[in-house]
Structure 1
Amino acid sequence: MAETDGATASVEPLSTPSTDATSVSATAKPPPETQESIWLRRSVIVSFWLVVVLLGLPVWWKTTAIYRAELPLETMGAWAESKVCQPAFPLKVAVEAPIPAQDAQHLLRDTQHSLDELNDFSAHRLSLLLADAPFVANASQQIVTDGIAVDVSHDEDIALSVRLVPVETGHTPRSLLQPYSPRLDVYYGPSQLPTAASTGSPLATYIAEELHKLFGEEQALLAHLLSKTPGPRAPVAKRLSSGIIAELEHRSTRALKYAPTYHLTFSLFTPINIPSDWDIESALQRYMSPFLDSLTGIHNFTIDTQVQLYSGYTPTVRPEFDEQSKSWTLRKEDLSGFINAAEWPLTPSIGAGPTVNFVLYVPDRSQSPLVVKETGGNSWLVPQWGGVVILNPTEADEAAPAIMTREALAPAMHTFSTQLMSLLGLPQSPGCLPLRISTLVRVRAASLLFSASSTLGALARLYNALPSIPIPDKVAKSVDLTTEHLQLACDSLKEGRFHSALEHARVAEAEAEKAFFERSMVGQVYFPDEHKVAVYLPLLGPVAVPLIMAALKELQTTIRNFKARRSS
């Protein structure tokens, strides 16, 4: 209470705001959404989804789809399992018999009967044909069989010619195989010819045994090759001993893989400055070219040469002096390290095909003669690589010649030729080079046929195992060409046209390899589905999350409103 001018004044308290307005604003709800705005929102969401489903997904599917050409998988599998082709090797042997035709036919029947009894490999059969005229160089010759005369003067499918030569002195029957001509001369006495009444003759038996012996190694090679292929082998079965199998396996590990072209490199290495040159061109022309020319139907060859001075062998190889033989020796375990790969320029692949290296090493006179301790030889073969020859200077030379002549290179060239035969897989017998080359034609044709068939099977398995890799049309085209040439090669083998079979098998192998190693197809193998997820997820995630969440929210609202209407 305050007093002012004697009067009493009263103070009234201020009024506080009413709490009713606060409660009203707290419980107020937003205005209900109009039906028009609901349908507008739903239309926007649906339109986005329609764009994604009807436009986005088809475009994505079309632009990322993997094209896979149709392949004849059943046919490819049948070739791989050797169900389509059972190869056969019918060989024609022309016989020239200077006797009446009736007696000659009788001799051929007896010989053929004896030969069939000796043969235990039905896929490889020798068929004897009678030559109508003497075998004269560059003359027209004919074979008569079943009344049909066939010109064989230039028939390369005649495996062997047998010439019967009557003699009156010396042991008979005896034979002589020509070393550089596919001809077997059989010498017989007049009394050894079979008569019309006889059921057999020693001459026929002798010829059959000689022919069976000549083609024995070829049969073993083909039988071993057939035994390693899948599929039924009963019709062509031939049992081989474990020793023969081991020997054939050992040879196969030394031989090079087949290639249409090989590059031959001849290298001269010496640890000093002499010899500084060699007459290699003349030596190759004289000693190597005839052999290479005889192989042109199977392989092509390119050649280069080089000379490297002051090139010592690997420092870890230490020759030992043998007092007994007065020579320097290399142990057998040192041969694998003799090649100085660090300093010798021996490129593993030069030119169109695999490189075959032939090294001629001329040691210093202070370490000459240099030989292999265990064998005493001066050369060795490096499996699937090439050969090495150590050419020791002779004691007659007062000084090492600066230039190696063709005559001095002759022993090395002969050794290189023998090593090349082993690397190419030529059989070791018989002693006739054309026969060995014709055997190689048949073996190569069969091996390429099986290799191409196996590649088709691998491609079919890859097609089924990896559905995400593309298969372009050129792969399908190569597969069709492969199967076509495989069939032609198989037919040619059965008809005895072995050079034609080799050509078709070579094309089939090349096309099969081309199809299997197609770049666009092989590259996709290393792009698995996990990589695709890693690429697409960062791109599609920010777009997909709002669309999915909006659709889910709208779906929840619709379900809640539906339940509310049902409960009311």
Structure 2
Amino acid sequence: MTSKNGDHGSPQTSSTLKADPKPSAQRVPPPETPEAIQTRFRVIAAFWAVIIFLGFPIWWKTTSIYRAHLPIQEMADWADGKTCRPVFPLEIHVAAPTMQLPESQHLVRTTQHALDDLNEFAAHHLRLKLTNDTETSTAQGIDNTPITGSMMDDAPDTALTVRVVAQEGLATPRSELRADTTQLDIFYPPSQVPIPSSSNPPLSVFIAEELQRLYSEEKATIAYILSGGAAGRDSESISRRLRRSMKYADTYHLSFSLFTPGSAPSSWDIEAAVQEYLSPLLHAFGPISNFTIDTQVQLYATFSPMAPPPVYDETESAWTLKKEDLSAFINAAEWPLNPSIGNGPTLNFILYVPDPSQSPMVVKENRASSWIVPQWGGVFLLNPPLEQAGQSGSQTNPGHITQESLRPAFMTFSHQLLTLLGTPTTPASLPLRLQSLIRVRAATLLLSASSTMGSLARLTESLAAIPIPATVASSVSTTLAQLSSTCSHLREGRFGAALTSARIAETEAERSFFEKSMVGQVYFPDEHKVAVYLPLLGPIGVPLLVSLMKELKRLVAGWKARRRSTA
């Protein structure tokens, strides 16, 4: 029984061992048909074709940064001063009606030689030209050649007219500058008429020294600006004056305010005062800047709690403010002083009428009633005659300030306005000072716009990721063209046209440098882009790359097999 059972179990075990290989053979996948391989290849190729020919161009187009072409080297040359070296040739007309033509021609020649010897700043020089008379509009040179009307259109601006007149009873020449014109009268003894044989006549030396004195401050200011504030003669005083003045603007807003700590005065003849005392000055500034004006009256305008109160000085019989306390005089927290109204900067002029109990009020150190706040405006303390208030006998301020009472304040405001706008302090003639301001402003704007072009060139080269829109390229092109025009106008002595071109160049340069789309891209570095793309492209890119590598390996293996079979 035992052997039978053993014999019976042995065949079962044998049959089991023989059946084991069958399941393992079934687990091997059947070979792919050529059609399936071809289909898989086409699917993978289709995916990659969409990515390469559709997805990548769309991504490149939508994410690429447009950078318009900029003339970087030309912009850098302007900033370094290699393209233009500003010069200021001032044309001065000389009329000598009491001299013969040969004598007047000799006077102009010798005076020009004396001027050239005195001039230490080559960029600013005076050129004399003989004219028939100061009142005629037709000019002529030393060779007596008249200048036609068409030539006058492109002629240099006339900076000054010198009228040389003989006068009896004089021992030495004397000069007289008219305060309201650009004419300098030179009176000389008839005995000092220059003769052709004299090489350095006293009259020529006198005229040259007078002209040099008239333009000494302008020369020093322009030299200071062109040198970038380098140390020089009177550089400290020039720097102090320029720091007090406002930055140049096409339009300034003038705000005139009447402040009083009580209920009076409550009105003033501001319109008549502006028209009478200020409008002529603003009209004279027309070629340089425009102005808008607003006025206000503020009652119960008290001092700031942080400001030291005025102190009564018995020796002066007045309430006094210390100089070091003037900076805290303006109660900016409570007084309605708008820092900026409109497009241009605001100049504030405050007329303060103190309380009757603190009147009169002056500055302790110099008994002045006004002062300037640099780059902000001016203040004037008006101490009007006090009035009796009914039967009580107490004194009060007048309820209304007349135009005549405003005259001292507006004369002071006019002077403060000239200072805040950077007008030179000399010479005494206001038209000459305004002409000097035109040349100073033209030089300032030329250098400012050139420096902005250099900063923009360095910015675009150092930050390759920021866009450069077409508007920036257009503004840069306009700026460079206007800078070239400014330099040309300066070289030819047309300073009004030079200021106009420099003003446009400065505006376009500022617009191109502060373009909003350029500034925003600076704060989006490449690390942010990687952080955005990886979570999106990782799950899609890995399967595509793996399938592509498998297909490449299959193709390489097939290629090698075909080479072996052919070999």
Residues 503 and 32 (structure 1), Cα distance of their counterparts in 2 relative to 1, 3 Å cut: same
Confirm or deny that 1:420 pairs with 2:431.
no
Question: Which of 322, 325, 345 is the equivalent residue of 1:331?
Answer: 322
The equivalent of 2:392 in structure 1 is none
**Superposed, which structure 2 residues align to 1:125-204 within 5 Å?**
125-133=125-133, 135-136=134-135, 139-150=136-147, 157-204=157-204
Confirm or deny that 1:72 pairs with 2:71.
yes
Shift of 1:554: 5.2
Instruction: Say if 2:386 and 2:397, in contact at 8 Å, map to a contact too.
Output: no
Which deviates more, 92-101 or 373-382?
373-382
**Superposed, which structure 2 residues align to 1:109-128 within 5 Å?**
109-128=109-128
Q: Secondary structure at the match of 1:165?
A: strand
Which deviates more, 68-77 or 544-553?
544-553
Which deviates more, 190-199 or 418-427?
190-199
Shift of 1:22: 7.8
**Which consecutive segments of 4 or more residues in structure 1 shift more than 4 A?**
14-19, 151-156, 395-398, 552-568
Shift of 1:214: 0.5
Shift of 1:246: 1.3
Shift of 1:332: 2.4
The equivalent of 1:382 in structure 2 is 373
Q: Give me the TM-score of the superposition, normalised by structure 1.
A: 0.89
Question: Which of 248, 263, 286 is the equivalent residue of 1:296?
Answer: 286
Shift of 1:549: 3.4
The equivalent of 1:265 in structure 2 is 255
- Equivalenced residue count is 546
The equivalent of 2:275 in structure 1 is 285
The equivalent of 1:521 in structure 2 is 518
Shift of 1:171: 4.6
Instruction: Say if 1:106 and 1:196, in contact at 8 Å, map to a contact too.
Output: yes
Instruction: Say if 1:140 and 1:151, in contact at 8 Å, map to a contact too.
Output: no
The equivalent of 1:217 in structure 2 is 217
The equivalent of 2:495 in structure 1 is 498
Confirm or deny that 1:41 pairs with 2:33.
no
Instruction: Say if 1:255 and 1:425, in contact at 8 Å, map to a contact too.
Output: yes
Question: Which of 321, 333, 341 is the equivalent residue of 1:342?
Answer: 333
| Cα deviation digits, residues 156-208 of structure 1 (max 9, x gap) | 81111111222222452111111111111111111112112222211111111
Shift of 1:469: 2.0
The equivalent of 2:466 in structure 1 is 469
Instruction: Say if 1:288 and 1:413, in contact at 8 Å, map to a contact too.
Output: yes
Confirm or deny that 1:31 pairs with 2:26.
no
The equivalent of 1:240 in structure 2 is 232
Confirm or deny that 1:105 pairs with 2:105.
yes
Instruction: Say if 2:138 and 2:146, in contact at 8 Å, map to a contact too.
Output: no
| Cα deviation digits, residues 72-97 of structure 1 (max 9, x gap) | 11211111111111111111111111
Shift of 1:561: 9.3
| Cα deviation digits, residues 412-457 of structure 1 (max 9, x gap) | 1111111111111101111111110000011111111111111111
Shift of 1:560: 8.8
The equivalent of 1:249 in structure 2 is 239
Residues 252 and 519 (structure 1), Cα distance of their counterparts in 2 relative to 1, 3 Å cut: same
Q: Secondary structure at the match of 1:314?
A: coil
Q: Give me the TM-score of the superposition, normalised by structure 2.
A: 0.89
| Cα deviation digits, residues 523-566 of structure 1 (max 9, x gap) | 32332222322332332233223222333455677789999999
- C-alpha separation in 2, matches of 1:277 and 1:204: 57
Shift of 1:366: 0.9
Using the aligned pairs only, state the percent identity: 52
Instruction: Say if 1:68 and 1:471, in contact at 8 Å, map to a contact too.
Output: yes
Q: Which amino acid aligns with 1:34?
A: E
Residues 58 and 524 (structure 1), Cα distance of their counterparts in 2 relative to 1, 3 Å cut: same
Shift of 1:333: 2.7
The equivalent of 1:234 in structure 2 is none
Which deviates more, 461-470 or 252-261?
461-470
Question: Which of 444, 447, 450 is the equivalent residue of 1:450?
Answer: 447
The equivalent of 1:373 in structure 2 is 364
Q: Secondary structure at the match of 1:77?
A: helix
Which deviates more, 319-328 or 300-309?
319-328
Instruction: Say if 2:88 and 2:493, in contact at 8 Å, map to a contact too.
Output: yes
Instruction: Say if 2:91 and 2:156, in contact at 8 Å, map to a contact too.
Output: no
Shift of 1:247: 1.2
Instruction: Say if 2:445 and 2:502, in contact at 8 Å, map to a contact too.
Output: yes
Which deviates more, 445-454 or 30-39?
30-39
The equivalent of 1:315 in structure 2 is 305
| Cα deviation digits, residues 213-241 of structure 1 (max 9, x gap) | 10000100110111019xxxxxxxx9823
Q: Secondary structure at the match of 2:146?
A: strand
Residues 94 and 566 (structure 1), Cα distance of their counterparts in 2 relative to 1, 3 Å cut: closer
| Cα deviation digits, residues 333-378 of structure 1 (max 9, x gap) | 3222221111111111112311111111111011122222233212
Q: Which amino acid aligns with 1:125?
A: H
Structure 1: runs of 5+ lacking an equivalent:
1-10, 230-237
Shift of 1:463: 1.8
Shift of 1:42: 3.7
Note the aligned Cα RMSD (angstroms): 2.9
The equivalent of 2:391 in structure 1 is none
Q: Which amino acid aligns with 1:326?
A: S
Residues 140 and 24 (structure 1), Cα distance of their counterparts in 2 relative to 1, 3 Å cut: closer
Q: Which amino acid aligns with 1:392?
A: N
Instruction: Say if 2:445 and 2:506, in contact at 8 Å, map to a contact too.
Output: yes
Shift of 1:514: 2.0
Confirm or deny that 1:274 pairs with 2:303.
no
Q: Secondary structure at the match of 1:168?
A: coil
The equivalent of 1:92 in structure 2 is 91
| Cα deviation digits, residues 463-489 of structure 1 (max 9, x gap) | 212222222222222222211121111
Q: Which amino acid aligns with 2:350?
A: V
Which deviates more, 542-551 or 263-272?
542-551
The equivalent of 1:542 in structure 2 is 539
- C-alpha separation in 2, matches of 1:22 and 1:439: 115
| Cα deviation digits, residues 505-525 of structure 1 (max 9, x gap) | 111112222222223333323
- C-alpha separation in 1, matches of 2:557 and 2:505: 70
Residues 21 and 335 (structure 1), Cα distance of their counterparts in 2 relative to 1, 3 Å cut: farther
Q: Secondary structure at the match of 1:392?
A: coil
The equivalent of 1:306 in structure 2 is 296
Q: Secondary structure at the match of 1:51?
A: helix
Q: Secondary structure at the match of 1:298?
A: coil
The equivalent of 2:528 in structure 1 is 531
- C-alpha separation in 2, matches of 1:415 and 1:205: 38
| Cα deviation digits, residues 227-265 of structure 1 (max 9, x gap) | 019xxxxxxxx9823xx1111111121111111000111
Shift of 1:150: 3.0
| Cα deviation digits, residues 250-295 of structure 1 (max 9, x gap) | 1121111111000111011111110001100000111111111001
- C-alpha separation in 2, matches of 1:268 and 1:499: 36
